[in-house]
C-alpha cells in the first residue's frame, strides 16, 4: 500500500513540476500555430506553386515548442503540357468577340485551378495517411525495415486545364484565330529548391510576426521548426532542415529592443543529411524498450510494434511507441495480457486497463531513468523524449497520448551519483497531451 501511495505521489509531482502552464490554453496556442503556418505556406508560395503540408506542433517542458512540417505533395501550374490544339476561322464582319464571356471563362479557369489545387491537397493527405498506415504494417511484420525506405509518390492524371488564348498571329491562310489548348496536370515530387526557399521564408515570417501567440513560454525557451527536403528519387540524399530562435529574442523584437533585421540574424538555421546508418546507443535503447514491453515481460501495457526514434538538431532524440493492453477474441470477449485474465466483458476489461494506468506511467519514468543512461550521443543540454500512443479504452479516464521528457544532464548526474534517485525521477516531466 505504501509503495502505491509513493508511486501516485511521484506521478502527481512529475505533472506539477513540468512548468506552470495552462494546458488548455497551450493546446489552443499550438493548434492556432499549426493553422498559421499552414496558411503561410499557401500565402508565401510563388504564383502557380501549390505545396500541401501537414503541421504538427508540440510543447516540451523546459525546452519550448517543436513544430514539424511534413511536405505531402506539390502541384505547379508550370508542370503542364499540351495534349492537343485546334483553331477555327472567322471574319470581323460576321463575328464579334464577347469580352464579358472571355472574362467569365478566365475567372472560371482560375477557380478550377484553385479547386484542383485543393483536390491535389486532399489526395496528398489521403496518400500520406495510407502510406503511413502501410509503413506501420511493414514495420510490424519486419522490424529490420527502415521507415526511411518508404517514399510517398503521388501520381494523379485527373486534373485537366482548358485555356483560351487569342492568337496575336493567325495560322497561315486564316485571317484571325483563337487557339484552345487542353492542358493536363503532371503531379510531381519536384520543386525541392522552391520548397526549401519557401520553408526559409515561412520560418522568418512566422517567428517574427506570429510566434508570440504562444504567450506562456519562458524567455529561455526555444521555438524550433523542422522539415525534410530531397524526396525526388530514392537515390537522392535527404536533408533535415531546422531553425530555432529563443523566446527572449522574440520578446526583444516585439518590444522594439531588436530590429527586424537583427532579429532575423538571431534565427539559427541548420541542414543535416539524413543518414541510414543507425546510431548504436539510440538503437540499443530502442531495443531495450522493445524487449521491456513485449507481452511476456510487460506488467501493464505491451507493444508489438517496432520502437521508432529520430534525432532532431538543437533538441535531442525522440522515441515513439504504440501500446496495447488486451486481445479481443469476439464480441464482448477480452483477455488482458498483463495479468492473463480472460473471458472479460468490455466493461470489465476497461476497468482493469484504467487501474493499470498509474502503474504504467510510473514504471515508464523509472525505465527512462534506468535505461536512458545508456545514451551517450546526446549533449548535456539536449533531451530524451518518449512519445507514447496509449491503448484504446473508450470512456476510460486515461489519456490517449503520453509524453515523457528528461534532459540528458539529469541522466548524467544520476549516473555519476551527483543526485539521488527520487530527485532524478522528479525531474522527468510527463505531459498527457489531449
Indicate if 381 and 423 belong to the same structural domain.
yes
How crowded is residue 82: how many other Cβ atoms within 10 Å of its Cβ? Answer: 12
pTM value? Answer: 0.62
The answer to whether the CB of 301 falls within 8 A of the CB of 331 is no
The answer to whether the CB of 336 falls within 8 A of the CB of 326 is yes
- Torsion-angle region of residue 12: left (phi > 0), alpha (psi -120 to 50) or beta? alpha
Pick from 69-83, 318-332, 357-371, 386-400: least confident: 69-83
Residue 431 to residues 8, 11, 166, 211, Cα–Cα distance (Å): 15, 11, 62, 22
Indicate if 119 and 98 belong to the same structural domain.
yes
The mean per-residue pLDDT over the stretch 47-54 comes to 72
Q: Which residue has the higher pLDDT, 99 or 330?
A: 330
C-alpha–C-alpha distance, residues 114 and 127, integer Å: 20
The three-state DSSP-derived secondary structure of 134-180 is HHHHHHHHCCCCCHHHCCCCCCCCCCEEEEEEECCCCCCCCCEEEEE
C-alpha–C-alpha distance, residues 17 and 19, integer Å: 5
Q: Which residue has the higher pLDDT, 76 or 287?
A: 287
Domain-located, residue 135: yes
Report the pLDDT value the prediction gives residue 427, as an integer from 0 to 100. Answer: 94
C-alpha–C-alpha distance, residues 149 and 175, integer Å: 58
Domain-located, residue 381: yes
Tens of pLDDT, residue by residue over 190-216, are: 567 788 888 899 999 999 999 998 889
Indicate if 213 and 228 belong to the same structural domain.
yes
Of the candidates 185, 208, 228, which is a domain's last residue?
185
The cell for 53 is 503540408
First-to-last alpha carbon distance for the chain, in angstroms, is 30
Domain-located, residue 11: no
**3-class SS of residue 408:** helix
Indicate if 316 and 345 belong to the same structural domain.
yes
**3-class SS of residue 326:** strand
For the chain, percent of residues with pLDDT exceeding 70: 64
Indicate if 380 and 301 belong to the same structural domain.
yes
- Residue 263: band (very low, low, confident or very high) from pLDDT cuts 50, 70, 90: very high
Indicate if 393 and 320 belong to the same structural domain.
yes
Best-predicted range by mean pLDDT among 15-29, 168-182, 262-276, 287-301?
Answer: 287-301
Q: How far is CA 21 from the centre of its chain?
A: 23
By CB neighbour count within 10 A (0-12 exposed, 13-18 middle, 19+ buried), where does 364 fall? buried
Residue 315 reports pLDDT greater than 70: yes
Residue that is written with C-alpha cell 541522466 in the block: 411
Indicate if 175 and 203 belong to the same structural domain.
no
Indicate if 157 and 235 belong to the same structural domain.
no
Indicate if 59 and 200 belong to the same structural domain.
yes
**3-class SS of residue 94:** coil
Tens of pLDDT, residue by residue over 141-171, are: 544 444 333 333 333 343 333 333 444 444 4
Domain-located, residue 1: no
C-alpha–C-alpha distance, residues 193 and 264, integer Å: 21
Tens of pLDDT, residue by residue over 401-432, are: 999 999 999 999 999 999 999 999 999 999 88
Residue 85 reports pLDDT greater than 50: no
The answer to whether the CB of 211 falls within 8 A of the CB of 30 is no
Q: How many domains does the chain have?
A: 3
Domain-located, residue 245: yes
Report the pLDDT value the prediction gives residue 93, as an integer from 0 to 100. Answer: 46
Report the pLDDT value the prediction gives residue 193, as an integer from 0 to 100. Answer: 79
- Residue 90: band (very low, low, confident or very high) from pLDDT cuts 50, 70, 90: very low
Pick from 146-160, 229-243, 247-261, 420-434: least confident: 146-160
The mean per-residue pLDDT over the stretch 63-80 comes to 75
Domain-located, residue 339: yes
C-alpha–C-alpha distance, residues 318 and 216, integer Å: 23
Domain-located, residue 14: no
Of the candidates 273, 306, 333, which is a domain's last residue?
273
- Residue 67: band (very low, low, confident or very high) from pLDDT cuts 50, 70, 90: very high
The mean per-residue pLDDT over the stretch 76-91 comes to 48
C-alpha–C-alpha distance, residues 42 and 53, integer Å: 10
Indicate if 157 and 287 belong to the same structural domain.
no
Of the candidates 252, 273, 294, which is a domain's last residue?
273
Domain-located, residue 257: yes
Pick from 11-15, 178-182, 285-289, 380-384: least confident: 178-182
The cell for 152 is 510517398
Indicate if 201 and 314 belong to the same structural domain.
no
The answer to whether the CB of 67 falls within 8 A of the CB of 55 is yes
Best-predicted range by mean pLDDT among 78-87, 91-100, 111-120, 263-272?
Answer: 263-272
Where in the sequence is the domain holding 337, given as residue range(s)? 277-431
Report the pLDDT value the prediction gives residue 188, as an integer from 0 to 100. Answer: 44
Indicate if 298 and 406 belong to the same structural domain.
yes
Amino acid at each position: 500500500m505504501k509503495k502505491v501511495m509513493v508511486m501516485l505521489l511521484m506521478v502527481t509531482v512529475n505533472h506539477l513540476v513540468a512548468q506552470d502552464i495552462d494546458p488548455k490554453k497551450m493546446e489552443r496556442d499550438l493548434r492556432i500555430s499549426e493553422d498559421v503556418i499552414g496558411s503561410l505556406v499557401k500565402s508565401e508560395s510563388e504564383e502557380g506553386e501549390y505545396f500541401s503540408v501537414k503541421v504538427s506542433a508540440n510543447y516540451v517542458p523546459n525546452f519550448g515548442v517543436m513544430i514539424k512540417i511534413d511536405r505531402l505533395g506539390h502541384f505547379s501550374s508550370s508542370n503542364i503540357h499540351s495534349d492537343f490544339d485546334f483553331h477555327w476561322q472567322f471574319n470581323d464582319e460576321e463575328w464579334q468577340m464577347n469580352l464579358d464571356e472571355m472574362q467569365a471563362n478566365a475567372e472560371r479557369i482560375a477557380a478550377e485551378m484553385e479547386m484542383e489545387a485543393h483536390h491535389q491537397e486532399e489526395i496528398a493527405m489521403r496518400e500520406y495517411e495510407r502510406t503511413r498506415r502501410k509503413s506501420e504494417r511493414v514495420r510490424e511484420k519486419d522490424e529490420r525495415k527502415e521507415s526511411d525506405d518508404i517514399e510517398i509518390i503521388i501520381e494523379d492524371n485527373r486534373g485537366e486545364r482548358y485555356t483560351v488564348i487569342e492568337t496575336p498571329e493567325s495560322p497561315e491562310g486564316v485571317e484571325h484565330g483563337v487557339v484552345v489548348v487542353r492542358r493536363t496536370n503532371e503531379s510531381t515530387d519536384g520543386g525541392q529548391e522552391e520548397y526549401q526557399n519557401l520553408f526559409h521564408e515561412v520560418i522568418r515570417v512566422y517567428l517574427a510576426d506570429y510566434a508570440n501567440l504562444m504567450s506562456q513560454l519562458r524567455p529561455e525557451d526555444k521555438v524550433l521548426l523542422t522539415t525534410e527536403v530531397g524526396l525526388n528519387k530514392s537515390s537522392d540524399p535527404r536533408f533535415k532542415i531546422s531553425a530555432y530562435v529563443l523566446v527572449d529574442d522574440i520578446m526583444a523584437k516585439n518590444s522594439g529592443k531588436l530590429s527586424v533585421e537583427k532579429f532575423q540574424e538571431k534565427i539559427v538555421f541548420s541542414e543535416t543529411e539524413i543518414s541510414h546508418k543507425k546510431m548504436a546507443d539510440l538503437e540499443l535503447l530502442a531495443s531495450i524498450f522493445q524487449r521491456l514491453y513485449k507481452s511476456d515481460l510487460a506488467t501493464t501495457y505491451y507493444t508489438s510494434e517496432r520502437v521508432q526514434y529520430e534525432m532532431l538538431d538543437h533538441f535531442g532524440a525522440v522515441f515513439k511507441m504504440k501500446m496495447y493492453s488486451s486481445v479481443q477474441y469476439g464480441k464482448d470477449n477480452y483477455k488482458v495480457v498483463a495479468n492473463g485474465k480472460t473471458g472479460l466483458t468490455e466493461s470489465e476489461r476497461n476497468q482493469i486497463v484504467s487501474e493499470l494506468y498509474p502503474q504504467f506511467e510510473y514504471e515508464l519514468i523509472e525505465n527512462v531513468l534506468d535505461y536512458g543512461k545508456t545514451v551517450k550521443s546526446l549533449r548535456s543540454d539536449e533531451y530524451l523524449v518518449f512519445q507514447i500512443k496509449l491503448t484504446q479504452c473508450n470512456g476510460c479516464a486515461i489519456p490517449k497520448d503520453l509524453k515523457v521528457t528528461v534532459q540528458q544532464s539529469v541522466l548524467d548526474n544520476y549516473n555519476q551519483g551527483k543526485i539521488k534517485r527520487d530527485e532524478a525521477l522528479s525531474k522527468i516531466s510527463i505531459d498527457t497531451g489531449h
